Amino acid sequence: MGNKIKTILVSGDPIWDINLIKSRDIPSHHREMLDFEIVNESPGGVSFLCELIKEACSDVSDQVHIEQPIINDYKYITKAYQLWSKYPRVDDKGRNPEDEVFRIEQFLGCYKPKFKNC
């Protein structure tokens, strides 16, 4: 009996994440240019969950089929806003203030677009 491909059906809310970066390195004047972007947008919610599952199953990808909802146009889905800041990395030995990572400092809320004819 051969190995059957297993299907993972992923469901959830389609969300578009808008990540705002707060950094101590932000210029004090408008004429000073940033050396990094302070806004990052990416699929979140169910799309992000699918990517995590694909990564977790990468060693058995020939044995797993992952199905996810088809999202045709992200401009019509809920947008989630969060503010990211740098924090000291914490590991099993405690805090390491010289090594920083970005974490969500504050969730700013969601916006659901209004549709015509609804």
Q: State the greatest distance between any 2 C-alpha atoms of the chain, in Å, as a whole number.
A: 69
Tokens of 9: 């059906």
Domain hosting 88: range is 6-26+38-71+78-111
> Does residue 1 sit within a domain?
no
Of the candidates 14, 15, 13, 11, the one whose C-alpha atom is nearest the C-alpha of residue 81 is: 15
- Per-residue pLDDT of 29-43, as tens digits, reads 777 777 777 899 988
Distance in angstroms (rounded) separating the CA atoms of residues 69 and 12: 9
85 found inside a domain:
yes
What is the pLDDT, as a whole number, of residue 96?
72
16 in a structural domain? yes
11 in a domain, yes or no?
yes
Listed as ranges, residues in the chain with pLDDT below 70 are 1-3, 97, 115-118
| Whole-number Å distance between alpha carbons of 56 and 110 | 28
Q: Which residues contact 52 (CB under 8 A, 6 or more apart)?
A: none
* 43 occurs within a structural domain: yes
Model pLDDT, residue 118: 46
94 domain-assigned: yes
Assess contact for 70 and 77: CB atoms under 8 A: no
Give the predicted TM-score (pTM) of the model: 0.72
What is the number of domains present in the chain? Answer: 1
Residues 83 and 54: their CA atoms lie apart, in Å, by 26
Q: Would you put residue 86 in left (φ > 0), alpha (ψ -120 to 50) or beta?
A: beta
Judged by DSSP in three states, 53 sits in helix
